[in-house]
Amino acid sequence: MYSKIEKSFLRVNLISIISLFLLILAGGVVRSSGSGMGCPDWPRCFDHYIPPTDVSALPKDYKQKYVAQRLEKNKKFANLLDKSGYPDLANKVRNDETIKLPEEFNAIKTYTEYINRLIGAITGLLLLLTFIISIRLLKVRKRLFWLSGINLLLVVFQAWLGSIVVSTNLMAWIITVHMLVAILILAITIYTYFDLKTFKNNDITNNKVSLVMKIFAVILVLLSIVQIAVGTEVREEVDAVQSNYKELSRSEWLNEVGQVFSHHKELALLLVIANGVFFFLLMKGNNYNKRTTVYGKYILLLLGLQFITGLILSNFSLTPWGQAPHVLLATLIFGAQFYLLLILLKKPFLINSN
């Protein structure tokens, strides 16, 4: 039986996981609707905690004001990149002319980005609460405290990185890093939930798992991470095409993206086949409990839905309403694969070790 504090940790941790998925969905809506610069400053939005609904509430020079703020912030960021040994990236930040372009006020885009930030703030508070609760579990499960603490530091870094995304006017490579950090935060949150959940519950684990199956599961998780990164790069290339070839119609954008889109499609097919083979081996084996095969079915279902949204995006001119579900499904697949991996790696007879 779990103690009261352990139940509290599990409850808040689970809500945090759900909140992280909602945040990723919200981020997908922001990207697909072109609302990434709906709030030109950070952490507030147009210098307000609750942004205005009409341009008349803003000063006449608001465009120049926020461009000047971005340039000043980017100057500091470029200097940081220089000191960190990335002069090429620093020069890219300094010489990006799009950063100097002012954003027109659009109430719908502003509130789309604002809601995304609210969900982000709530998620951050939930992870902070998870860390606070973990302090009381130090004597029971030290790793929960340390991992929750690391996650909290990552949230702070992610918040700072979010401000850089805004100040650099959605610079491509920073968005990719932002997405990968989100995946890392999600992975740690899933792990801390799983670790305590299986600490006193041996039914979730398997008695015997072959090394081949463990390696196979690790490869599938890594492939999903690569696919998410490549998918983010596809979106970045689409943004570049949209910006540089304004004469092209929406249906022509993907034709100009190049090899990265082909790689994305090939990886998608590889993931479907590999996960199908993996599930077949799970069903064929005699050493796996029902939870293992259930998660395998979840993954196949999510992959099917992901494949459908990919076809919709490819054949219907990157329709905005299909982009956010596509991103969400990718992270749900990763989450399910990672949880299944943890089940397969868990050693049931060592569950009381720290």
The series of mean pLDDT values per 10 residues for the chain, 354 residues long, is 90 97 92 84 86 87 85 87 86 80 86 93 96 93 94 93 78 83 96 89 68 91 94 85 79 83 90 92 72 86 92 85 91 94 74 42
In 10 A of CB 246, how many CB atoms? 7
What is the predicted pLDDT for the residue at 207?
Answer: 58
Question: SS3 letters for the chain?
Answer: CCCHHHHHHHHHHHHHHHHHHHHHHHHHHHHHCCCCCCCCCCCCECCECCCCCCHHHCCCCHHHHHHHHHHHHHHHHHHHHHHCCCHHHHHHHHHCHHHHCCCCCCHHHHHHHHHHHHHHHHHHHHHHHHHHHHHCCCCCCHHHHHHHHHHHHHHHHHHHHHHHHHHCCCCHHHHHHHHHHHHHHHHHHHHHHHHHHCCCCHHHCCCCCCHHHHHHHHHHHHHHHHHHHHHHHHHHHHHHHHHHCCCCCHHHHHHHCCHHHHHHHHHHHHHHHHHHHHHHHHHHCCCCCHHHHHHHHHHHHHHHHHHHHHHHHHHCCCCHHHHHHHHHHHHHHHHHHHHHHHHHHCCHHHCCCC
pLDDT of residue 144: 95
For CATH 1.20.120, the residue range(s) in the chain are 201-354
CA separation (Å) from 4 to 1, 17, 123, 124, 193? 10, 20, 23, 23, 15
The CATH number of the structural domain formed by 201-354 is 1.20.120
